Structure 1
Amino acid sequence: MSDSLTSRTHSPNNKASLTEWLDYMQQIHVSAIDMGLSRVLPVAESLGVVQSAKDDAYVFTVAGTNGKGSTTAAIAQMCQAAGYKTALYQSPHLSVFNERVRINGEMVSDQTLIDAFSKVESARLECALTLSFFEMTTLAALLIFAEADCDVWVLEVGLGGRLDVVNIIDPDMAVITNIGIDHVDWLGDNVEDIGREKAGILREGIPLIYGTTAMPDSVQQAINKHQATCYQFGQDFSYREIDAKTWQYSNAAVTMQLPRPALSLTNTVNALSAVLASSLNVDTHAIEQALQTVKLAGRFDYREVQGRHWLLDVAHNEQGVEFLLAQLLPFWQQHLVEQNKHNRHAHIAPPKIKMLFSMLGDKDINKVVQCLTTAGLPISDWFIAEIDYPRAASTERLQSILAEYVDGAQIHEFDGLQAATQAVINASQPQDLIVVCGSFHTIGEALAALEVA
């Protein structure tokens, strides 16, 4: 077997650490992203994961440009609260790889992952194929779910849908949260092409939850082709906010008054619609319990750390930032009210917003910055640094784009997110709000920095 099919180094064994396995899997394929299922399917069939999912589990597959993480988290929490042994697969992670693979809300152990990686590697070598890092790790997650005999699998698509490795599993329920312009190098530069890719998760006769009011023709064509039953936001289900603690969900069959979750209502509504349209038995009590407990790091994630107010969100494209701003603007107004009430007898400066920001170089940084700088938020300073990741945008590029929209004196450059995180703490006041956004990697590195700051 040639070097192109194996590796110039031997595969790690079960005594190797998780880090050693992850490092190895990033080296054995020529590209980090390699769309298509032809190499993955033989390995998956050798492992038995395709048949296991078909025979033993109810599968939700969630695609979309934004909101997949929150949607999958909410679906999984509802199913778990109803008593189903629930598997959840998400990507990427923020702090540790284990976040991607959960059973009943708990991250699987390092050894569980190592054992699965070893089995996937053996099957890969037997099939004489190379697999990308994402393909290897996704197969390992599916194998873990199969071996744990989970009742429900909730799977987040990594990129697109049709050619994503998650799509080797036939879903019982498909969800498309929304369709925006992102990953243009792989999916296309218009909503019709992107919609066609995302609608690739459909199967004959299964339900589809479609999470926005605007639907590309390509998605409707896929619905017709597969004779799928489509439930669309704004037509077949909707919601309204009642107050800070409650909201109302409605579809043709039910109207429910529910506790407000820590996730966005838009994504929660799509998740609830998927659960209600499924064949699973999830009652109102389980739904209420799930909404009171579900959370997801980095998704409109408010924390008080190091004596500061933090709002962390993984928004990394125009649509994601618009979604963030829709929640952030009212949140900021409430923050002002609370801080003014708290400090009404103190002679202190009004609260300001400090932005801790970095992005990947293959994203539309200009659009994201434009959205953030024209939203009417009182952002007094920007703290920027290059993410520790191969695709990171350089600090110089971030600075250059920002300088088109804000005064150069408001931009502060640092050597790494840890230094930038400490700097924003030092430069802010207890009444200020620090917003962190731009990438999963930005949030992950900021959280890591806060633990040591």
Structure 2
Amino acid sequence: MAEISSSAPAVTASLQEWLTYLEKLHPKNIDMGLERVARVAANAGVLKPAALVITVSGTNGKGSTVCYLETILQAAGYTTGVYTSPHITEYRERVRVNAQELPDSEHVKAFHAIEQARNNTSLTYFEFGTLAALWLMGRQSPDVAILEVGLGGRLDAVNCVDADVAVVTSIGIDHIAFLGNNREHIGYEKAGIARSGKPLICGEASPTASIAESAERIGAKLYQVGRDFHRTEYDESWSYRSQNTQLNDLPLPKLPLINASTAIAAIEQLPLPVSLSAIREGITQASLPGRMQPDTVNGIEVLLDVAHNPQAAVYASRYLNKFYPQHKIFAVVGMLSDKDHAGVANALSSQASAWYLGSLSEPRGETADNLVINAKLPTESCYLFESVEQAFAAAVTAAQQWQMNDGKALVFGFGSFYTVARINAYLKGA
């Protein structure tokens, strides 16, 4: 694959100049395969970013699982490096060292180092950023690196690093152009992050056979939720149980509980002692922007979530039913064109009373006109807008009118990372 000709910015250039350069560096946004990125990783010396590495793949729940791992290990006194994607507001969100984002200048140094190491090897934006994140972590030598897989697993750039513990959170139908259109094949791709002789933690309640088959073929030791570790939820607490561990009176988290238990199962496989108090503290502290993120505007409650596939939408529906049972839901939606619009809308149809659809102008962004058709929504309860911001403003106005006369209202924005980013910016007056 030929590189698009362009001169690299200087090490004194701005972060934005480098990001613009990365966007133009490769002919494709996504180019699955490890040969190119592994070669550059070896040249850059970034294949061992920490003493221990946890790699996390899955359709949903990757971000919250990574967050639980980070907060629990931090509470236990260990140093961490974290890589996630995509970002919501700014690029620096993608890398955290010891729970802190790094300044622009550090990212620029990392980009410059990878540019020197790649020797004209063509890299995508994601591949370049992944290698830069590994370089940043390597300079700090954290106790544990926690790496979120971007897409798939087996052929994802993150998989150039050998995981000491691999995690598969869930299997759903998404990114079918790259991963296949059935759960068995997607499970095969996700489980490709496992390594021989190392643990593979599966937090999928209904796992595909391909996960166990992959673990056996690779020689990884599979730990399966419902078989090797369990959770029990109570009204005001929950418990975790495995063959060697029993944890009681754990605090109910802000993020999905299933991913908290998956994170604990992964931590059990590390050669690091972690106390019950650290686990409790880490669970309490875990939160993420864009994951059931609460806010208020003009007296109206707002909830934002990046849910963009049916599996995530089902969780969102249950969350709304549990925490907002008396609210009239005004749904603000913006989605990409390659998502399951009808599946997402159907999962939330019993919760949303009115739909405010906004067009997304980003790459692969869907128009509101197409979204209402693809999602098979009732036209009498849908309102279409040229942007997510306009849709959100209209939903807030309608919610205010409802709340003045009839009861509680909630504006729920979801459908894409772009949607949450746009609403966040709107709320900040950007």
Report TM bin, short chain: over 0.9
Aligned match for 2:382, one of 403, 407, 411: 411
| Structure 1 match to 2:329 | 353
Q: Superposed, which structure 2 residues align to 1:70-89 within 5 Å? A: 70-89=64-83
For the residues of structure 1 that align with 2:233 and 2:209, how far apart are their CA atoms?
31
- Taking every aligned residue pair, what percent have the same amino acid on both sides? 40
1:353–1:433 Cα contact (<8 Å) kept = yes
Shift of residue 101, structure 1, vs aligned partner: 0.4
Kindly indicate whether residue 106 of structure 2 is the aligned counterpart of residue 106 of structure 1: no
1:421–1:450 Cα contact (<8 Å) kept = no
| Structure 1 match to 2:240 | 249
1:210–1:233 Cα contact (<8 Å) kept = yes
Kindly indicate whether residue 357 of structure 2 is the aligned counterpart of residue 362 of structure 1: no
1:353–1:432 Cα contact (<8 Å) kept = yes
Shift of residue 385, structure 1, vs aligned partner: 1.1
For the residues of structure 2 that align with 1:216 and 1:401, how far apart are their CA atoms?
28
Kindly indicate whether residue 28 of structure 2 is the aligned counterpart of residue 31 of structure 1: yes
2:4–2:27 Cα contact (<8 Å) kept = no
Kindly indicate whether residue 422 of structure 2 is the aligned counterpart of residue 428 of structure 1: no
For the residues of structure 1 that align with 2:11 and 2:357, how far apart are their CA atoms?
40
Kindly indicate whether residue 347 of structure 2 is the aligned counterpart of residue 371 of structure 1: yes
For the residues of structure 2 that align with 1:331 and 1:442, how far apart are their CA atoms?
22
Q: Superposed, which structure 2 residues align to 1:276-425 within 5 Å? A: 276-333=268-325, 336=326, 351-373=327-349, 376-377=350-351, 379-402=352-375, 404-406=376-378, 408-425=379-396
1:167–1:201 Cα contact (<8 Å) kept = yes
For the residues of structure 2 that align with 1:292 and 1:263, how far apart are their CA atoms?
10
**Structure 1: gaps (5+ residues):** 337-350
For the residues of structure 2 that align with 1:28 and 1:266, how far apart are their CA atoms?
39
Secondary structure, aligned partner of 2:324 = helix
Kindly indicate whether residue 10 of structure 2 is the aligned counterpart of residue 13 of structure 1: yes
| Structure 2 match to 1:180 | 172
| Structure 2 match to 1:348 | none
1:417–1:449 Cα contact (<8 Å) kept = no
Q: CA offsets per residue over residues 404-436 of structure 1, 9 Å max, x none?
A: 332x23212222122222222222125201111
1:384–1:417 Cα contact (<8 Å) kept = yes
Give the total of aligned pairs. Answer: 423
Q: Which residue identity lines up with residue 422 of structure 1 in the other structure?
A: A
| Structure 1 match to 2:414 | 437
Shift of residue 217, structure 1, vs aligned partner: 2.1
Q: Once structures 1 and 2 are overlaid, which stretch shifts more, 155-164 or 385-394? A: 385-394
Q: Which runs of 4+ in 1 moved over 6 A?
A: none
Q: CA offsets per residue over residues 338-384 of structure 1, 9 Å max, x none?
A: xxxxxxxxxxxxx41100101000111122112222xx22x232111
Secondary structure, aligned partner of 1:428 = helix
Q: Which residue identity lines up with residue 146 of structure 2 in the other structure?
A: V
Q: CA offsets per residue over residues 238-277 of structure 1, 9 Å max, x none?
A: 2122224x22122222221211221110111111111122
For the residues of structure 2 that align with 1:319 and 1:19, how far apart are their CA atoms?
34
Q: Which residue identity lines up with residue 329 of structure 1 in the other structure?
A: N
Q: Once structures 1 and 2 are overlaid, which stretch shifts more, 31-40 or 302-311? A: 302-311
Secondary structure, aligned partner of 1:436 = strand
Q: Which residue identity lines up with residue 417 of structure 1 in the other structure?
A: V
For the residues of structure 2 that align with 1:270 and 1:352, how far apart are their CA atoms?
33
Q: CA offsets per residue over residues 170-224 of structure 1, 9 Å max, x none?
A: 0000110111111110011111111111111011111111112322222111111
Q: CA offsets per residue over residues 111-152 of structure 1, 9 Å max, x none?
A: 11111011111212x2x2100000000100000000111111
For the residues of structure 1 that align with 2:108 and 2:96, how far apart are their CA atoms?
15
Secondary structure, aligned partner of 1:61 = strand
Secondary structure, aligned partner of 2:332 = strand
For the residues of structure 2 that align with 1:285 and 1:364, how far apart are their CA atoms?
41
Q: Which residue identity lines up with residue 208 of structure 2 in the other structure?
A: P
Q: CA offsets per residue over residues 60-112 of structure 1, 9 Å max, x none?
A: 00011100000011001111111111011111111111111001211111111
For the residues of structure 1 that align with 2:255 and 2:98, how far apart are their CA atoms?
18
Q: Which residue identity lines up with residue 84 of structure 1 in the other structure?
A: Y
TM-score of the superposition, structure 2-length normalised? 0.95
TM-score of the superposition, structure 1-length normalised? 0.90
For the residues of structure 2 that align with 1:69 and 1:311, how far apart are their CA atoms?
18
